[in-house]
Amino acid sequence: MVLEILIALLILLLLLILFVSFHVMLVLDKRGGEFQHKIRIKWLFLSYSVDPVKLAGKDKSGKKKKTSKATEPPADKPKKEKSEPQPVEAERQKKDESTVSADQKKEDKESERWSVSNIIKMLRLLIVPVIRLAEGILGAIDIHKLNLDLKFGFDDPADTGMVVGYLYALRGYLEYQYERVRLYAEPNFIEMMLDFHIIGDIKFRIASLIPAVMKFVFNRNVLRLSWALIRKKDIPDPA
């Protein structure tokens, strides 16, 4: 009997989480190296505010926590006379050098994976699924206010121009479909940077978001890109 009551309560809680609205109010602001935020979530009679001190890893005084380590003066080590490397040591040294070179190649390949050209490929693969995801999510939530102000730039001005073209197309679509959504994008063709200011006041039900999220997850381009990232293969070219 007790087990049946617990199962019924869990099912009731799951249904409440899926079908009762969450109310989210947030302000996110990034300027240079500084990031400030304020987030408040309401659900039923519960309310929770995200503490910016916890996310920033600071103590209550607003200062970053410092860890002090006791340092001791290094003890004088007896000098050893240089000896000719033995064959075993020479072979071990060669193995260490080959391991270091292999690690360096992996790091170089990983850095190439996240180059600007590959990021542009990712954007071209994801632009349509992301727009459909945004359309599904925006259609499923109740938006009281959503303002996004972006300022960005890449090393290559051509890449910056391509991305801002996508953002302007997205802005036109959002402003045509949704009266309370505003997207502003200011490109910087001189330096690489990313600043943003986001203000949001929205309500949503998790059950209403599931169809849009599932369509995005099982999109062909999303699956191709996810498989390439998981298998550490080259980013596929957009079809």
- Report domain extents, the chain: 114-230
Pick the more confident residue, 119 or 68. 119
- Which pair of structure tokens corresponds to residue 177? 């479909």
Alpha-carbon distance of 131 to 173, in angstroms, equals 9
Q: What value does the mean pLDDT take over residues 184-213?
A: 92
pLDDT at 48 over 80: yes
Instruction: Return all residues near 55 (Cβ < 8 A) that are at least 6 apart.
Output: 37
Q: Which of 8-12, 55-59, 103-107, 214-218 has the lowest mean pLDDT?
A: 55-59
**pLDDT tens track for 96-121:** 666 656 555 556 566 666 677 777 77
* φ/ψ bin of 4: left (φ > 0), alpha (ψ from -120 to 50), beta (otherwise): alpha
pLDDT at 19: 93
Across 114-131, average pLDDT: 80
Q: What is the pLDDT of residue 54?
A: 47
Give dist(CA 17, CA 210) in Å, integer. 13
Residue 15 pLDDT > 90: yes
Question: What is the per-residue pLDDT for 53?
Answer: 54
